[in-house]
Structure formats: structure tokens, C-alpha cells
């Protein structure tokens, strides 16, 4: 396939953008509305461990939620209002982001989701969780509601290297992750996998291997993050003690391009870099300029005349 023939793109981008996925389905701007439903994680409450993953904040990665302490519908209305000013005729994806939002009784999960199912402006539902928080009852329910709205499960993997998984306090294995994806393959639920570059003691080839390891698994989307150190985390304490080197900006851009080359072209790139809050960020400070990173990924792909899936076999 020639790079000019890449089928899932606007504006000559060479990877399958989330913007392309959404606009071709809904013909309008679709935005995620970040929500905190008040769940926790099995490696926070003691059932598997305590403290959570070393990079995770006390808000469970929901730090950008501007209405964190309000009830769900108030969070939705307030955060949506900010986007309405930019895109008054858009649609929305309620995104249950903080912690693991299928880690609880089904009754509570239903109470979280069902107010949004009949909202006309809601295009899809997105739920962040872990591969070890998906029992049969919950999966069956989520599959049922895909008849009303498409459902994305965003599942953190970060790395396929289980030794590094232990270092980051993940508390599940790559095999656990694989098993969950093969179970979800039998449903209509869409899966977005989270991977993270720059984890402690991983080489660039290790990070590329994670994408190669998942490339033939059944999933629909990917989020690629750069590890960033934020205040009041275990990672911040580790960094203060050891000051291990983080990968640099250009190294990250080059790596993401290589990772995209090994992904199926159908996989939706929902995110290619992190989006930290500046005042909480310790390192790397170059992550604050998200748009320039994405622009330089585009430039690098054009320079190399490469595209998503070029080396996928």
C-alpha cells in the first residue's frame, strides 16, 4: 500500500485518528466529557495491593475533571458546558475515567451508565478499567447496552513486560490482559488499549515490543502515553531518590512512529501523547506542548514516507 492510499485519514495524516473515526460516523465534532464515578481499584483497596500504580495520582488519572466532587450528572453538565462554547452543535462521549469503573457491583455500574443511554447528544460511552475487573455479569450487561450506544472499554496494559509490570505495581500479568481481550472479542464491546512509553528500566526496543506483542490481539483502539512524573505519586518519590533518565522528546516521537508502523491500520489512535496538568508536572516538561508533539509525529511520518501498519504482518 502506498502512503497516499491510507484509507482512514483526513488532512493527509498517516495514522487512523480518533477524529476520523468519529466524524465519519457522526458528521460533527464529538468530544469526551471526563467523569469520576467514585470507584477505586483492586491494587488500592488491598484486595490485590495498595497505593495503586506508581504513576497514578490520588484522583486516579482523573485530574483534568473540573467538577470532580459533584454528582455525575452535574459533572457532565458542567464539563459539557465548557465544550459547548467551542462546539455548540457537537455530540459527546461520557468518559468514566478515574480508577477502575467496572470494579464494583453491577447495580452500581448500571446506575453510573444508564442516565446517559437515552441522551440524544451522547454518541458513545467510554469506561476506563482493568483487565481483572471484568466479570461475566458485567461484560454481559455492557454487551447488551451496545444495542443502544457503542461502548468502549479502555483497558490499561502499559507494558507487556511483566517484570516492569511488577515495578509499576500493576498487579496483573500480560496473560491476564490477553485473556480479557479474547473474552471481549466475543462481544460487540470496543476495546481501547493503553500503553506507556518511558517506564522505569525499559529500553526503546522493550517499548516497541509491547506494541508488537499486542498487534495481533483483538482490540479496536490504542492510547499511547509518555510516562510523566506528577506530584504526590510513588513515581515522584522514586524519581527524587534515583533520578532515572526519561526518554527525550525526539526519541519519543521516533518511537511512536515506529510503534504505529506495527499496528493494524484499522486500529484507532485515540491518543498519541499524554496531557498532563502543567502545575502538577515534574517531568518531562516538553509534554505540556501536546499539539507540537502531534505535529512533529506527522512531520516525521511524512519525512520517512511511512504510515500506520506499514510493517504489520
pTM for the whole structure: 0.94
pLDDT in tens, 92-119: 999 999 999 999 999 999 999 999 999 9
Q: Which CATH class is domain 3-303?
A: alpha beta
Q: Would you state the pLDDT for residue 52?
A: 86
pLDDT tier at 2, thresholds 50, 70, 90:
low
List the domain boundaries for the chain.
3-303
pLDDT tier at 4, thresholds 50, 70, 90:
low
Beta bridge partners, 125, equal 151
Q: In whole angstroms, give the CA distance from residue 128 to residue 191.
A: 10
- Asked if residue 153 lies in contact with residue 30, where contact means CB atoms within 8 angstroms, the answer is no
H/E stretch holding 143: helix 136-145
- Asked if residue 178 lies in contact with residue 125, where contact means CB atoms within 8 angstroms, the answer is no
Q: Would you state the pLDDT for residue 41?
A: 92
Q: Would you state the pLDDT for residue 238?
A: 84
Q: In whole angstroms, give the CA distance from residue 21 to residue 149.
A: 15
Q: In whole angstroms, give the CA distance from residue 170 to residue 199.
A: 12
Q: Of the spans 42-46, 148-152, 243-247, which averages the highest pLDDT?
A: 148-152
Of 68-72, 99-103, 191-195, least confident by mean pLDDT is 68-72
Average pLDDT across the chain, whole number: 92
DSSP conformational letter for 120: T
* Higher pLDDT, residue 64 or 288: 288
pLDDT tier at 62, thresholds 50, 70, 90:
very low
Q: Would you state the pLDDT for residue 137?
A: 98
Q: In whole angstroms, give the CA distance from residue 191 to residue 219.
A: 5
Determine how many CB atoms are found less than 10 A away from the CB of residue 285.
12
* Higher pLDDT, residue 124 or 53: 124
Mean of pLDDT values over 139-145: 98
pLDDT in tens, 234-251: 888 888 887 777 899 999
Q: Which residues contact 182 (CB under 8 A, 6 or more apart)?
A: 217, 218
Residue 215 CA: distances (Å) to CA of 60, 135, 211, 220, 251? 27, 25, 6, 11, 21
Mean of pLDDT values over 25-51: 93
Grid cell at residue 275: 496531557
Amino acid at each position: 500500500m502506498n502512503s497516499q492510499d491510507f484509507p482512514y485519514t483526513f488532512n493527509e495524516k498517516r495514522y487512523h485518528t480518533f477524529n476520523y473515526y468519529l466524524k465519519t460516523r457522526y458528521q460533527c465534532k464529538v468530544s469526551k466529557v471526563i467523569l469520576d464515578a467514585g470507584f477505586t481499584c483492586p491494587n488500592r483497596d488491598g484486595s490485590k495491593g495498595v497505593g495503586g500504580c506508581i504513576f497514578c495520582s490520588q484522583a486516579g488519572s482523573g485530574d483534568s475533571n473540573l467538577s470532580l466532587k459533584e454528582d455525575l450528572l452535574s459533572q457532565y453538565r458542567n464539563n459539557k458546558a465548557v465544550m459547548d462554547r467551542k462546539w455548540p452543535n457537537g455530540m459527546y462521549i461520557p468518559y468514566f475515567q478515574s480508577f477502575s469503573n467496572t470494579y464494583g457491583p453491577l447495580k452500581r455500574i448500571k446506575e453510573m451508565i444508564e442516565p446517559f443511554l437515552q441522551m440524544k447528544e451522547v454518541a458513545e460511552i467510554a469506561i476506563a478499567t482493568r483487565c481483572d475487573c471484568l466479570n461475566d455479569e458485567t461484560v454481559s450487561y455492557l454487551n447488551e447496552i451496545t444495542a443502544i450506544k457503542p461502548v468502549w472499554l479502555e483497558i490499561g496494559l502499559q507494558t507487556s513486560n511483566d517484570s516492569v509490570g511488577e515495578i509499576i505495581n500493576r498487579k496483573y500479568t500480560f496473560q491476564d490482559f490477553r485473556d480479557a481481550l479474547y473474552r471481549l472479542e466475543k462481544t460487540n464491546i470496543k476495546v481501547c488499549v493503553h500503553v506507556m512509553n518511558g517506564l522505569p528500566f525499559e529500553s526503546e526496543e522493550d517499548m516497541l515490543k509491547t506494541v508488537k506483542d499486542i498487534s495481533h490481539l483483538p482490540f479496536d483502539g490504542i492510547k499511547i502515553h509518555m510516562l510523566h512524573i506528577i506530584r504526590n505519586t510513588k513515581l515522584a518519590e522514586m524519581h527524587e531518590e534515583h533520578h532515572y533518565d526519561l526518554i527525550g522528546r525526539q526519541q519519543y516521537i521516533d518511537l511512536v512512529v515506529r510503534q504505529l508502523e506495527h499496528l493494524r491500520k484499522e486500529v484507532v489512535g485515540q491518543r498519541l501523547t499524554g496531557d498532563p496538568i502543567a502545575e502538577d508536572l515534574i517531568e518531562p516538561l516538553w509534554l505540556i506542548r501536546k499539539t507540537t508533539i502531534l505535529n512533529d509525529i506527522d512531520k516525521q511520518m511524512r519525512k520517512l514516507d511511512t504510515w500506520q501498519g506499514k510493517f504489520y504482518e
